[in-house]
Structures are given as structure tokens and as C-alpha cells.
Amino acid sequence: MKIVQVNNLIAVGGTTTCAMAVCDALPAEHTIISLGSVDGKVKRWLEDCFGITILVRNAVTPGDCADATAVILNNTAADQVPEELPAPVLYWHHSRYQGQATGDHVAWASDWLREKAAGQTLHQGALAVDHEARAPEFTVGRLATPGGHKRHEDDEQWWSRLDVPGKVYVGHVQIPGVTCIPPEIGLWSRMTEWHAMVVRSPVTESFGRCVIEAMMAGCVPVVDGRGGHCETVIDGETGFLCKRGEHEKKIHWLRDHPDEWASMSEKAKLHAKEKFGPHPFAKRLFRALRLTLEQWVLHRG
């Protein structure tokens, strides 16, 4: 079986880990077509560590998919792919914008994103976490790659006000009093060191894969209570869904209640493993591909 993913690996971020999760879930030969460009470190890492073929294209051609069992288009514009490809096409929506392509079968990253549209909800999956290295002091982190448009104007003041021993921000930012780390391959594993991860943003996440990655690592998410977060976090059990102004209070509560934090951490790991881990994600992805193949046979076979 050969799977061709069409993606954009221009930078280190959720797009890369989503592509990795697909490769991890499907025992197949994998090719990723990165549209426009590809981050050099991402390319070398995927090729050397996972044996994935990376192609860089401005647009997909039929020849790129000639021997594919299936093609997965991720947020691909209609002008970047032919109207027909010589393989079954699963189109996976991860966000909303005009001019997207389509496929034999359509999937959406969340119920919130899908609303009443045709197709199935296909939640993303997270890679397994095989270690923990929790920091000795209560540490809160933020993973935003890329992150400029995901920051509130008062972010610097908010982080300065946050009263916890450890504060880490992975992204292209500089905030006094916060350990700021530029995005690098594998940095999502840093969440095994954090006690809590915050998502406080003007942008509504259609899914928010860093939340499931945090829970897999036993890191309690304290996030905006809207969008895809409402489908991943069980409020008060595996994390907190917050209104504007509540994030700081919830983080301080976790800091002051270590036993309750430990219980939520364990519940978060179990919930993430059972719903978003490699095995349940593989089952969802296989179902989506089966429906894609059925539609291909019905309409073009």
C-alpha cells in the first residue's frame, strides 16, 4: 500500500506532527508532497528517521500519484491539484477558507469545523509518549508554532503576572521572565516536563492538536473553551475549558492542589490514549480511507 499525503511542511509545527501521526497509523509506503517549500530540518528528519519520501511541488501532478493506493489532501487549494487524480482522494479539512479542493470522500478535523456539512469528522491522532520527565517545580508551557497571530496583545503582561516557578513558551517570541524556545523538531516532547499547558488565543482552534499531545504527556491543558477544544478536553476532569480571564485562576488552582493535579494528569493520559492515541486514530483513518475507496469505485471505478 502506498499513501501520498499533500501537505505544507514549510515550518516546524502541528502540520508536521499530523503528517507523522498518519504515517505512524498506516503500515504503508509513504510519500509527502509539500506544496511551495519544506523546512530543511523537517525534510531530513522525516526522510532519515522515518524513511518517508518528501517531494516539493508548487502543485500536485497526476504523475505524483500514479501508483498511490490513496491520496490524502490536507487543506489543499483547488488550484494546487488537478480536478481528477489517478487514485482515490480523501480531502481532510483542518480549517476554513475559500477555494479548497475536494475529494472522493471528505473529512473534517472536528464537529465544530464540519457543522452540518457532508462528510465525517476525523479527529487527528497523537503519537505515543514513551517517557516522562516532569520538572521538579510546577511548570506551565505554551506551544505556538507559528504563533504571532495566536497571541493576545496583552500576552507579555499576562505571562509576567502568572505566578508559577516555571514558564516556557515554544514559539518565535521573546517575553521577559519566560523561557522562550524557538520551534525545533521534537520540542512537543517537552510537554512531558510541564505540569500544565495553556492555550489563550484570539484564534479559535478548529482542533488544536497540541492539546491532545499535552494530554498524552500527562500535561493538563488549560485552554480556551471554544472550537475543537470542546471535543478533546473533558472540562474539570482532563483539563479546563476557560472563558477569557479564567486561565490564570485555573493554573494557580492546579499549582496549589498537587493531588488534584496528579489525578487530572492521569485522567488526561488515559483519555488521550483511548480517544486520540495511535490505535484509535488508526481505526478512524482506516474507516475514512475505506469510505474513500468505496466512493472511488462507485463513481469512477
Q: Whole-model pTM?
A: 0.93
φ, ψ of residue 214 in degrees (nearest 5): -65, -50
Among residues 2, 105, 14, 10, which one has the least CA distance to residue 57? 10
pLDDT of residue 130: 78
> CB–CB of 30/3 below 8 Å?
yes
Give mean pLDDT, residues 64-90. 95
Task: Give the pLDDT band (50/70/90) at residue 147.
Answer: low
Which class in CATH covers the domain with range 2-125+278-299?
alpha beta
**Matching residue, cell 489563550:** 200
The stretch 95-114 carries a mean pLDDT of 92
Domain 139-276 part of CATH 3.40.50.2000: yes
Mean pLDDT, rounded, for 258-267: 98
Q: Write out the three cell numbers for 220.
A: 493538563
CB 207 within 8 A of CB 109: yes
Q: How confident is the model at residue 118 (pLDDT cuts 50, 70, 90)?
A: confident
Backbone angles phi, psi at 198, to 5 degrees: -105, 140
**Cell numbers that stand for 208 in this block:** 488544536
CA dist., res. 172 & res. 188, Å (int): 15
Mean pLDDT within 131-150 = 84
Q: What are residue 222's DSSP bridge partners? A: 198, 240
8 Å CB contact between 204 and 162: no
CB 65 within 8 A of CB 71: yes
Check if the beta carbon of residue 214 is closer than 8 Å to that of residue 274: no
Please give the grid coordinates belonging to residue 223.
485552554
pLDDT score for 124: 97
Cα separation of 133 and 190, whole Å? 9
Is 72 strand, coil or helix? strand
Q: Measured between alpha carbons, how far is 194 from 282 in angstroms, rounded to an integer?
A: 27
pLDDT greater than 80 at residue 184: no
Q: Which of 125-134, 196-205, 221-230, 251-260 has the lowest mean pLDDT?
A: 125-134
Give the span between the Cα atoms of 45 and 197, in whole angstroms: 26
Task: Give the mean pLDDT of 139-151.
Answer: 80
Which segments of the chain belong to CATH 3.40.50.2000? 139-276
Of 1-5, 7-11, 168-172, 266-270, the poorest mean pLDDT is in 7-11
pLDDT at residue 182 greater than cutoff 90: no
Compute φ and ψ for 33, nearest 5 degrees.
Answer: -95, 115
Q: In the structure, what pLDDT confidence band is assigned to residue 146 with cuts at 50, 70 and 90?
A: low
Give me the mean pLDDT over the 56-71 stretch.
95
Percent of the chain at pLDDT > 70 equals 97
